[in-house]
Amino acid sequence: MTEDFEFERSEGNVSIIPLGGLGEFGLNMMVYETENDIIVIDTGFMLPNADMPGVDLILPDIHYLVERQEKIRGILLTHGHEDHIGALFYVLRQLDVPVYGTQLTLAIASGRLREYNVLSKAQLNTIAPGDTVELGDFSAEFLHVTHSIPDTVAIALRTPVGVIVHTGDFKFDMTPVDGKLSDIQTLARLGTEGVLLLVSDSTNAERPGQTPSERSIYGTVDTIFQKAEQKLFLCTFSSSLHRIQQFIDLAGIHRRLVAVTGRSLLNNIRTATELGYLNVNPDYLIDARDASMFKPHELVILSTGSQGEPRSALSLMALDNHPFLKMEQGDTVVISARIIPGNEKAIGNVVNHLLRRGAKIYHERNADVHVSGHGSSEDLKLMLNLLQPKFFMPMHGEYQNLMRHAELAESVGIASDNIKVAEDGELILLTPETCEVFGREGRSGRVFVDGKPEFELEDIVLRDRIQLSEDGIVVPIVVLHSDTGEGEQESAANSQEESRQQLEGESTENDAQISIHLTQSQGKVKKQIEIISRGFVYMDKSEELIEEAKEITRSVIESLSDEQKEEIEAVQDEIRAALRRFFSKQMQRTPLIFPVVMRV
């Protein structure tokens, strides 16, 4: 990779900038740019890991696009999963650009846009597989591919330098639930005509063989239906509509009524049914609030919560906190979804609670109840062979997935020098003869959302939260006054006590609290100091450390000149620096130190 670069965009090149999805799962967003125009493919979000306290959503940083919005000709969506459309509301709040997607994809996206009051300003344009849209220097042709959700497309971009194929998520399912095969004929035609660059899904690059058909789980789930003697809970992603169709079909065959719980699942089933993507007999649907009116063996409950989300329907039932559904001894639970890396503990906790309630649990590790919507190594090699690209760049996945996909490309005959592995924020410059990865172009990264999306969380705040969770906090409170009269002494003490109570709240035996009263000769400065700690040390076992902290605080205050004492920030800095050095040396820990200095 070249770190320093200079170039001018011209008719002789196209630049590609991944704003998300290369080096991680989720956050998928790719920018294609010529001298005159920009198009964006997908605008996904990512859910936070357990080590991101207080973060609700992770969105791509789109400063690069905001600075060039007059060049953007459109946003193209490959399908309706949240890791590809979940950030659309955030993007459209800042960019007034048209959006193109299939009917189902736009219908699902509209729900979130409506939720965030963006739908009224959105320019949504429905396309169908086989359509071509002209967007300035780009011509986008949409090709149907099979995935775990209907209406998924790959996109062939005709550009001034050649054809780029962006696969989106895909696998080659030869017996899809809806009967719609991947458009292999068009893929082969594009390969014959000549593809300059293939940008392809790497999610399952490390899995050998071919990903089984979505229908492959049908027999296993059918057997579970036959064995279930009481309520049967089926839990999957709310957008896995092909799987939901199979569950509904089996419920009809086994003459069980279907109750649905979970807002996103309800919305997606309603939308897909209205558009004809789900075939649901309304006679078999009941309101989940009425489930208690029926016998257990008559019921199937479709539920959200396959990743152990704390407020999901399945998690609430596992803890017996659901308002109207109850998990009971002898019930059966099927978790039909991939365990996303990082969610193992949350899912394990839910499973443990379900087992305590006497439920029998099936999941991907003990039964064939899940199949991936992403192609494995043989699917990926088939895509490479169909398109025969001159250059290849893997996308979607962690770095190890990208590297494995690069190895697969080399194994089918792509020259190693023509395989480019890039990461988020890097610039890939494509010409008819070259494809090179350069250093980072402009600003890219992640936006952390705390609560409402308008409340973006700065990196430094997240770092502080992580440090608080690891090392705790120390708050020295210092009151400075220059009169030794009793009235002002009482005022200082009262001010200090009030500050201490505000910072401290309810005291606990784990708190380290020290009061230091330093009185110099009559007429000189009197100083009162208190240190409050949270999550740092256990007071009863840290007396020596606390005594040393007293002495250091005493020394800092006594060493300050009268001029320094007049500058509150200077006093805070001196205290902070001294205590940070002390705690780091003594304990190899660096708590956050927030001195509070008041003058009375």
Catalytic positions: 201, 374
Contacts 24+ apart (CB under 8 A), 186-192: 186/141, 186/143, 186/156, 187/143, 187/154, 187/383, 187/386, 187/387, 188/386, 190/156, 190/163, 190/165, 190/386, 190/387, 191/385, 191/386, 191/387, 191/388
Contact between residue 135 and residue 73 where contact means Cβ atoms under 8 Å apart: yes
User: How many Å is the Cα radius of gyration of the chain?
Assistant: 30
E strand or H helix that includes residue 464: helix 459-471
Give the max Cα distance, the chain.
Answer: 96
For tokens 């392809």, the residue is 200
E strand or H helix that includes residue 395: strand 391-395
CB atoms within 10 A of CB 348: 12
E strand or H helix that includes residue 473: strand 473-481
Question: Which residue, 517, 511, 514, is CA-closest to 492?
Answer: 517
Q: Residue 317, SS3?
A: helix
Question: Which residue, 540, 556, 549, 547, is CA-closest to 583?
Answer: 549
Number of helices (H), then strands (E), belonging to the chain: the values are 17, 28
Q: Are strands 391-395 and 197-201 parallel, antiparallel or unpaired?
A: parallel
What are the DSSP calls for 540-557, one per residue? GG-HHHHHHHHHHHHHHH
E strand or H helix that includes residue 125: strand 123-126
Question: Which residue, 335, 313, 196, is CA-closest to 262?
Answer: 313
* Helix-helix angle 543-559:568-587, to 10 degrees: 150
Contact between residue 30 and residue 21 where contact means Cβ atoms under 8 Å apart: yes
Contact between residue 422 and residue 199 where contact means Cβ atoms under 8 Å apart: no
Question: Which residue, 551, 517, 510, is CA-closest to 533?
Answer: 510
Contact between residue 60 and residue 29 where contact means Cβ atoms under 8 Å apart: yes
**Distance (Å) of CA 157 to CA 298, 376, 436, 525:** 51, 24, 19, 75
Please give the Cα distance from 133 to 566 (Å, whole number): 68
What are the DSSP calls for 431-453, one per residue? -SS-EEEEEE-S---EEEE-SST
**Distance (Å) of CA 592 to CA 471, 472, 505, 524:** 7, 6, 18, 32
